[in-house]
Amino acid sequence: MSAYILDWLNLLFRWLHVITAIAWIGSSFYFIWLDNSLEEPSPENKKKGFGGQLSSVHAGGFYEIGKYKLAPPVMPDNLHWFKWEAYSTWLTGFFLFALMFYVGAESYLIDPNKSQLSPPLAIAMSLFILIGGWFIYDGLCKSPLAKQTWLLALFLISLIGALSWGLEQIISDRAAYLHIGALIGTCMAGNVFRIIMPGQRAMVKAIEAGKQPDVKYASASKLRSVHNNYLTLPVIFIMISNHYPMTYTHPHSWAVLIAIIMIGAFARHFFNLRHKGITKPSILISATVALAVLAWVIAPTQKPLQTSAAIEVTNEQVLSIIKQRCSSCHATQNTDSMFTAAQAGVILENMDQIRQWAPRIEARSVLSNDMPFMNRTNMTDQEREYLGVWLQSQK
């Protein structure tokens, strides 16, 4: 398939994925807020079987909402389910994921500097992680461990840590992060598809048969929706993580990821409490401080020069390094087979352009090894060092 068509498909699915994810997480935020904000029902509403009520105004409309203690005595004709937001987010996400990492396996998934996996093997492994990961997660949630919410959370986070460490050893840094994101997204959508929806269907069925619905469905759904709730902020970070090489190219990128997942979940806790009328700014403040500490801990250090004598790097040397190592993907006429247009709009063909992009070249090729992309052009450490010396001399 031509790179041009692939780019359009990528655009289309990324666009749809962002739209559907906004709809899913938006409605999820809304219902969590609603549930946590319910007030004691009026005597009249109590008679109707309501356990909570809430009044709101939005866009010039006034709304009265009542929540049944368990379910209405008779099912209304038209019941809204809120499931397609989740399903379409997963479907568009999976297409985008497959387009990037399966169709583009040789560019985005396999890092020849780490392992020599063949594309079919790498893709099989990737699918196995997504499917197997869901079954392990689902099994743990149904095991006795699930009774200890904190123990389960700790165990799950350790598993994610171990998996991302393992992935970091064998596939590209970017793909390792996105695999954790895709797995978390799969578990979140799986919770809706396999647990929450079947539970709701069983409850509706019971009511239609004139029976009292079993509370076990409500409590199973509860655990899964708590997980989904706390995973929203972390999973959004992973969606945008590929823009931030200081995270995924770090030598311990798996630990950076775990730290950000925990900070994100902790920040979400602030909002959950706040909806219940408990405002604890200390949570948001400590999450922000933790993020700042993380930024400080992983800050790139200027590597000491390998060459003993102070070296001077000329403009000609810099231009020749950049031409040799970067211009296959950053030129008016790219020569790379996969990246056929100037990537990210960055063209590096003369000294003016190199100076224009100097801070980004430093971030991506000197302070991190993120560019050249997966080092497809075999840039050497010495060349990075020369580039660093030259960039310093320009400051």
Chain contacts with ligand HEC (rule: CB under 6 A): 325-326, 328-330, 336, 339, 343-344, 346, 357, 360-361, 364-365, 371-373, 376-377, 379
- Estimate to the nearest angstrom the gap between the alpha carbon of 58 and the chain centroid: 30
The secondary structure element, H or E, covering residue 64 is: strand 61-68
Q: What is the enclosing helix (H) or strand (E) of 50?
A: strand 50-58
Neighbouring CB atoms inside 10 A of 354's CB total 23
Tokens 């099912």 correspond to: 75
- Long-range Cβ contacts of 67-71 (<8 Å, 24+ apart): 67/34, 67/35, 67/38, 70/212, 70/213, 70/215, 70/218, 71/203, 71/204, 71/207, 71/213
Return the number of the residue (293 or 344) whose C-beta is nearest ligand HEC. 344
Nearer to ligand HEC, 227 or 376 (CB): 376
Q: To the nearest whole angstrom, how small is the minimum distance from the Cβ of residue 312 to ligand HEC?
A: 20
Q: How many other β-carbons are positioned within 10 Å of the β-carbon of residue 381? A: 10
Radius of gyration of the chain (CA): 26
Contacts of 249 (CB under 8 A, 6+ apart): 173, 368, 369, 370
Centre a 10 Å sphere on the Cβ of residue 50 and count the other Cβ atoms it contains.
Answer: 19
Residue 147: CA count within 13 A, CB half-sphere? 2
Nearer to ligand HEC, 48 or 360 (CB): 360
Q: How far is the CB of 106 from ligand HEC (least distance, A)?
A: 11
**Least gap, CB of 378 to ligand HEC (angstroms):** 10
User: 21 phi and psi, to 5 degrees?
Assistant: -65, -40
CB of 265 to ligand HEC, least distance (A): 27
Closer to ligand HEC at the Cβ: 148 or 392? 392
Closest CB 19 distance from ligand HEC, rounded Å: 22
> Between 14 and 194, whose beta carbon lies closer to ligand HEC?
14
Q: Which is nearer to ligand HEC, 174 or 224 (CB)?
A: 174
Phi, psi of 67 (to 5 degrees): -115, 125
Name the minimum Å distance from CB 102 to ligand HEC.
Answer: 17
To ligand HEC, the closest distance from the beta carbon of 285 in angstroms equals: 30
Q: Residue 187 or residue 238: which is nearer to ligand HEC going by CB? A: 238
CB of 361 to ligand HEC, least distance (A): 4
Q: Between residues 123 and 326, which has the closer beta carbon with respect to ligand HEC? A: 326
